[in-house]
Amino acid sequence: MELTPEQERSKHEFRTFVDEEIIPFAEKNDREERIDPSVIDKVISKGYLGSMLPRQYGGLDMDQVTLGILNEEIGRGCSSVRSLLTVHGMVGLAILRWGTEEQRQHWLPKLAKGELLSAFGLTEPKVGSDAKSIETTAVADGDDYILNGTKKWTTLGQVADLFLIFARCEGKPTAFLVERGTQGFSTKPITGLMGARASSIAEITLEDVRIPKANIVGQVGMGLSHVAMTCLDYGRYTIACGCVGLAQACLEESVKYARKRKQFGSPLRENQLIQKMITEMVVNVKAARLLCYSAGSMKELGDPDSIMETWSAKYFASLMVNKVASDAVQIHGANGCYSGYPVERHYRDAKINEIIEGTTQMHEVLIAINAFRTI
């Protein structure tokens, strides 16, 4: 696959932005466990928070491949900033696809312009991959719904203004929009994460949170089968692309280090075992990138098989980035275990990608089931 001239120009623009505005803050973001507000402001100023939304609502209306390239480049700079794009986009797309026109007109321009940040509340303390078993409840009461429950590991939960919350309504998973500041709604920061430390992870508590019935997204019972699936498909795609960017960062750091580091009187780059690791990095990064481009192209065409292509891309890319990051640390030796070198952070960030938006094991089950059905 070859990128169009316009996509190539976009890639150059994204890379320049990341080099100048994101990478200089990445270590600080990780250390302070928050994205520097100036970085968020710069992402907003470029319109990237609306990259996935149509122009009629103030978005950039990027094609799917360009959208993937954006997430790749930002993932190269800082996994936590990439996670901001992912969850914010998930909520925006849920409203775009399943919301009413009133919801679209009210919320999407604000999300596209970055006037509001949004977060995705599905996972709970006792519920991860088995999403259909969510325990949070929503009970109709006149013109309102009353929500009770707890959400955990919510990316951007510390700072988001709008939350897409999944709860059982009439016994069926259903999606609702909940604003920060609603009575009974509270968040508690979760710190000390291994990777993606600046993602502002939080636990959410809902105690008799009353919201208008107009805040339901879709219909009762559509929460997982329709709304969440739309969100998670986008999430897997952007994470897969982010994995490619993170692996590219590991590759570039490894090449740079192997050029200047000398052992036994020679640069590391002349060591054949180091060359082997670099070769594997190059080939695996290219393979994962092509899987992402393929998924993006199929999405752009509206091909229903793009869903499984995205599963494959996320599965391969998340495994790949862990191998590449591990080899990058190995090439750096003891320096790779020290926060003064970016690969230490990259190594920690890489592991998160095997867990979020579907674990490696869930991907293996579903990809295999699809193979048995179609081959």
Total number of domains constituting the chain: 3
Residue 234 and residue 358 in one domain: yes
Residue 301 and residue 216 in one domain: no
> Containing domain of residue 270, as a range?
224-374
Residue 215 and residue 228 in one domain: no
For residue 357, indicate whether it is catalytic.
yes
Q: What is the CATH number of the domain that holds 331?
A: 1.20.140.10
Residue 228 and residue 364 in one domain: yes
Q: What is the CATH number of the domain that holds 154?
A: 2.40.110.10
Residue 236 and residue 340 in one domain: yes
The reported pLDDT for the residue numbered 335 is: 97
The reported pLDDT for the residue numbered 130 is: 87
The reported pLDDT for the residue numbered 129 is: 87
Q: What is the CATH number of the domain that holds 76?
A: 1.10.540.10
Q: Do residues 314 and 361 make contact, with C-beta atoms less than 8 angstroms apart?
A: no
The residue annotated as part of the active site, out of 72, 73, 357, 364, is: 357
Residue 187 and residue 69 in one domain: no
The reported pLDDT for the residue numbered 1 is: 77
Residue 171 and residue 247 in one domain: no
Residue 290 and residue 302 in one domain: yes
Last residue of a domain, one of 76, 94, 112: 112
Residue 358 and residue 300 in one domain: yes
* pTM listed for this prediction: 0.95
Residue 218 and residue 280 in one domain: no
Residue 248 and residue 131 in one domain: no
Last residue of a domain, one of 222, 244, 262: 222
Residue 311 and residue 366 in one domain: yes
Structure tokens at 228: 């969440």
Q: What is the pLDDT along the chain (375 residues), one digit of tens a residue?
A: 789 999 999 999 999 999 999 999 999 999 999 999 999 999 999 999 999 999 999 999 999 999 999 999 999 999 999 999 999 999 999 999 999 999 999 999 999 999 999 999 999 999 988 888 999 999 999 999 999 999 999 999 999 999 999 999 999 999 999 999 999 999 999 999 999 999 999 999 999 999 999 999 999 999 999 999 999 999 999 999 999 999 999 999 999 999 999 999 999 999 999 999 999 999 999 999 999 999 999 999 999 999 999 999 999 999 999 999 999 999 999 999 999 999 999 999 999 999 999 999 999 999 999 999 999
Last residue of a domain, one of 78, 112, 146: 112
